[in-house]
Structure 1
Amino acid sequence: MCIFENQTFSPVETETKAISLAREWNNAQHQAELPNQSLPIARRSQMNNIDERNIICKSDAAYNKKTKRAGLAWIFSDTTETRLNQGTTTSTSISSPLVAEAISLRSGVLSAVNLEYSKLKVFSENLTLIRVINNDMQVKEIFGIVKDILQISSVFVEISFSHVYGSSNGEANRLAKLSLSNSFVSNLLMG
């Protein structure tokens, strides 16, 4: 028994109160963090040039296991396969090809938000990644990245994630490899 401020509490009451206060504190901390988690805001152009067509985004990554570096690429096109936009970048300290693919897809989705696309069909040749995004399986290695992708996805009017065979993703693959090789050239020149 504990006596505090002239009140007597049994060990069970003390434990129950401690758990209750810990939960209350934990919930308060989580709520305090929420405003800091910034998600993309659905911006709409002042010029009414929002593209309501279904936009296709194909992403890919080229990974170098030795340097743990990845070239990332994404291409936007319309349903007639007319290229509308594209992007590439290089990431370092990447732990696996799956992580590289997930980061590339996330970069493509973020780029689509910035381009103010409202309907997006996202394709990746990494079937594991697509299954994880579509809740068919879980992979701890990319949990946080997939969570980001799903949060960003709430900005779109329509969005889907599908598998594409490598032969249909050649351009994104080529851009990813080019991005990776350019990063090595850049390092040689600068370092």
Structure 2
Amino acid sequence: MPLNDFDLEWKRLLRTVVLPPIGLGNAILAPWIIWAIWTARNQKLFQNRTFSAQETVTKAICDAKEWATAQVPVKTCEQRRKIQPNRSTTEITCKSDAAWRKDLQAAGLAWSFYRNQKERFSSHDQPVAFVNSSLMAEGLALRAAMEQAVALQMRLVVFEFDSLQLVTAIADGSSFSDLHGILSDIYLLSISFDFVSFSFCRRETLCFEDSAAKNSLSNFVLTQTIEPVLV
């Protein structure tokens, strides 16, 4: 049986339509799968990080969708500009922060939702174990905030946090080993919003979230250090 012609098969893949529910419109998935496999291979060789086939394909889909979103036609951009002045009445600001203990590999996460930047109407916090870095803690806080926003059916949300490194990672599609899976989740969650943005903010604007995150971490540490009482 003759070998397949690489050039012919590659061109066929480039013409393949990605079917629902993944549907990517005009985006092509094949190159992104190959790139995701290559980057996963590099992560394994150079950082001893292993990613499953599902994680690798999810990353490829996220990258393909991000690329497709970046190819917005001029007409769509004009339509977005027309609706932006009216967003102020329904747009929600979500502020998130995290506190991390390196010795315990644990973190406290906190996030709040605001109307008009100042009117806080909902806040949440939770402790998390097995957290490898402060950057990972910030990413987990953002992901939890986005999951909450999706659950509350919020459509227009500006997410603010004080990690410039995380903002850059989201904007550039960087592949930090600690954030590989978290960034994939953030990209997928972004699809659920009509409008979403990620912004760096000064630490002093996160006083409430900072305090809530630290309290969540302190309570978690306390429960881990209490000795059982024998009766």
TM over 0.5: yes
Shift of 1:15: 11
Query: Which aligned pairs between 1:89-168 and structure 2 lie closer than 5 A?
Result: 89-135=126-172, 137-168=174-205
Give the distance between the partners of 1:97 and 1:190, measured in 2 at CA: 28
Matched, 1:169 2:206: yes
Q: Which amino acid aligns with 2:201?
A: V
Higher relative contact order (CA closer than 8 Å, sequence separation 6+): 1
Q: What is the RMSD computed on CA atoms of the aligned residues?
A: 2.9
> Secondary structure at the residue paired with 2:172?
coil
Shift of 1:143: 1.9
Gaps of 5+ in 2: 14-32, 34-52, 59-88
CA contact (8 A) 2:93 2:117 kept: no
The sequence identity of aligned pairs, in percent, is 27
Gaps of 5+ in 1: 1-6, 35-51
Give the distance between the partners of 1:161 and 1:106, measured in 2 at CA: 12
Shift of 1:79: 1.2
Give the distance between the partners of 1:95 and 1:82, measured in 2 at CA: 33
Question: What are the Cα deviations for residues 8-33 of structure 1, in whole angstroms up to 9, with x where unaligned?
Answer: x6xxx3997xx99xx9xxx9x87xx8
Q: Which amino acid aligns with 2:224?
A: N
> Secondary structure at the residue paired with 1:134?
helix
When normalised by structure 1's length, the TM-score is: 0.72
Give the distance between the partners of 1:14 and 1:142, measured in 2 at CA: 38
Give the distance between the partners of 1:147 and 1:61, measured in 2 at CA: 20
When normalised by structure 2's length, the TM-score is: 0.60
Query: Equivalent of 2:105, from 54, 65, 68?
Result: 68
Give the distance between the partners of 1:190 and 1:70, measured in 2 at CA: 21
Please state which structure has a larger fraction of its residues in strand: 1
Which residue of structure 1 lines up, in the alignment, with residue 90 of structure 2? 53
> Secondary structure at the residue paired with 2:185?
helix
Q: Which amino acid aligns with 1:98?
A: L
Please state which structure has a larger fraction of its residues in helix: 2
Larger Cα Rg: Structure 1 or Structure 2? 1
Q: Which amino acid aligns with 1:75?
A: S
Give the distance between the partners of 1:75 and 1:105, measured in 2 at CA: 11
Which residue of structure 2 lines up, in the alignment, with residue 43 of structure 1? none
Q: Which amino acid aligns with 2:127?
A: T
Question: What are the Cα deviations for residues 123-176 of structure 1, in whole angstroms up to 9, with x where unaligned?
Answer: 110000011111264423212101101100100111000000101111111110
Question: What are the Cα deviations for residues 57-97 of structure 1, in whole angstroms up to 9, with x where unaligned?
Answer: 11110000000000000011111411111111111111000
Give the distance between the partners of 2:174 and 2:136, measured in 1 at CA: 15
Q: Extract structure 1 runs of 4+ deviating beyond 6 A.
A: none
